[in-house]
Chains A and B, each alone.
Chain A
Amino acid sequence: MKGRTLRRHFRESFKSLGRNGWMTFASISAVTVTLLLVGVFAIIMMNLNKVADDLENDVEIRVMIEIFNDEAEMKAEEEKLIAQIENLPDVAEVVYSAKEDELEDLIHDFGDELSLFEQNNPLHNVLYVKAADPQSTADVAAQIEKLDHTYKVLYGEGKVEKLFSFLNISRNIGLVLILGLLFTAMFLISNTIRITIIARKDEIEIMKLVGATNSFVRIPFVLEGMWIGLLGSVIPIVVVSVVYYNLYHSLAPRLEGNMLELLSVTPLLYQVNALLVLIGLLIGIWGSFMSVRKFLKI
């Protein structure tokens, strides 16, 4: 294609946005509303996902080590056990905590009365194990239980499974909602664009009759769809950014130290905004492409 022709296509696509003023406005509005919903939803979902990830990552296995009478033997067995656990597949991290440290934690949490146990510490040395994938915690725990010299292996059996299935269900629901929203958006926008194109059926017919190729007819329409998608993503981006920025800065200090934490502004808004522009462009281009196709068969 010649550069002059390409310039003509760009010029035509701009002109036609202006000429079809109200239909352009309707299409852009459709994109705007949809992308606003998608943006809000994406931010909510990503934050929920973050909370879910945090909850999952808090799940760890507590391996209490058997007590030996001989200090040296115990030391050796402990080291062997740590090596064995670290060699298991799916194990991300093993942290050793001596019984003195355990007691200190208890004293810290429950009060100084417990310090009388310092003379005769009844606690076990403990290994804190994290699975590479939190969802496989139960499997890892079962494998550790089979190893020698573990006294008890605890990971909140029952509760953890419930938490995981709850998180999985809410993730799936979110995904289905977003997909549904996108599908509706595509449908809505391609219909709006189709109406603008039906209004210009004659134009396409005449172009075809004087010998325009299909791509020559199609390109200005597709470019027009692209502008509509791009323009339609402007308001959602501004609204989503401003609202989340303010929300984050008013909520984040209050949530500090809590288990709940919002995703920080910088990577999240870049990601969501890029997503919105991309979706806007794609549905604009796709909508025009599909709608104009029907009228090219002359």
Chain B
Amino acid sequence: MIQMKNVIKKYPNGVVAANGITVNIKQGEFVYVVGPSGAGKSTFIKLMYREEKPTSGEVTVSGINLSTLKNGRVPHLRRQLGVVFQDFKLLPRLSVYENVAFAMEVIEEQPKEIRKRVMEVLELVGLKHKVRMLPSELSGGEQQRVSIARSIVNNPKVLIADEPTGNLDPETSWEIMEIFEEINRQGTTIVMATHNREIVNTIRKRVIAIEGGMIVRDEYGGDYGYEG
């Protein structure tokens, strides 16, 4: 599903955030990306949805070669991915329903299909009763659930999450993880960058540890591995 081959990413300021990363993530996997701050986790994630282009090396996502992907074809890639952020990135003036429907309107779905699917995913994340509310009227965990609903509404093959529990209290984080596990059970590949030791050590999945822009550990069912 996601392949990287000798990927190097050097930023204009000289920082090398990816230094020869080679990795293969298969369809349906659940992968944690761990590592200290500034180790290159975010760059690793951003390379997958082409917010960043590799300086050299090859990135392939869902059969699309990102190194040769033209700018005009980037939307085509993004429609196969869902992205969840630490800061939710919801539109403050749109209701819960509108925020989720937005992702479908943008790719010009049928209105009937939009209504049906939006309610479906809002039910999955447990927010069906709050569709008319604005993001500011929701708790952090609820906002993140809206953002997850938005990311999966178009049935992506891959869900990419950059520290999705970073702004949430432990209890809420567990609720979010349950949703991710449910999404993963339905066959969606999940790549999640995280700092949350408890989660990684409890819900055992494949762990990729990045330090200094390189993969230093890649084990199935591994633990977080860093001292809190």
Contact = CB atoms under 8 A, between A and B. Distances in A.
Interface of A: 2, 4-5, 8, 19, 202-203, 205-214, 216, 298
Contacts of B76: 211
19 contacts: A4-B108, A8-B105, A202-B91, A203-B91, A206-B91, A208-B75, A209-B78, A209-B83, A210-B79, A210-B103, A210-B106, A210-B150, A211-B75, A211-B76, A211-B106, A211-B154, A212-B106, A216-B108, A298-B51
Given A2-B108, A206-B102, A210-B154, A19 B51 contact: no
A216 to B, nearest CB: 6
Interface string B67-94: 0000010011111000100000101010
Interface residues on B, range: 20 to 34
B111 interface: yes
B107 interface: yes
B180 interface: no
B49 interface: yes
A8 B77 CA distance: 23
Interface of B: 49, 51, 72, 75-79, 83, 89, 91, 93, 102-103, 105-108, 111, 150, 154
Most buried by B among A5, A208, A209: A209
A208 B105 CA distance: 12
A205 B106 contact: no
B75 A213 contact: yes
Contacts of B106: 207, 210-212, 216
A229 B162 CA distance: 41
A290 B103 CA distance: 25
A208 B93 contact: no
Given A209-B49, A209-B83, A210-B102, A19 B93 contact: yes
A184 to B, nearest CB: 33
A4 B105 CA distance: 10
Contact of A211 (B79, B91, B93, B111): B79
B72 to A, nearest CB: 8
Nearest to A210: B103
Given A19-B93, A206-B91, A298-B51, A211 B107 contact: yes
Nearest to B81: A211
Given A4-B108, A210-B154, A211-B75, 20 more contacts: A203-B91, A205-B89, A206-B89, A206-B102, A207-B102, A208-B75, A208-B78, A209-B89, A210-B102, A210-B103, A210-B107, A210-B150, A211-B77, A211-B79, A211-B106, A211-B107, A211-B154, A213-B72, A214-B72, A298-B51
A209 B161 CA distance: 13
Most buried by A among B89, B106, B108: B106
Contacts of B75: 208, 211-214
A206 B205 CA distance: 29
Nearest to A16: B93
Nearest to B82: A210
A5 B107 CA distance: 10
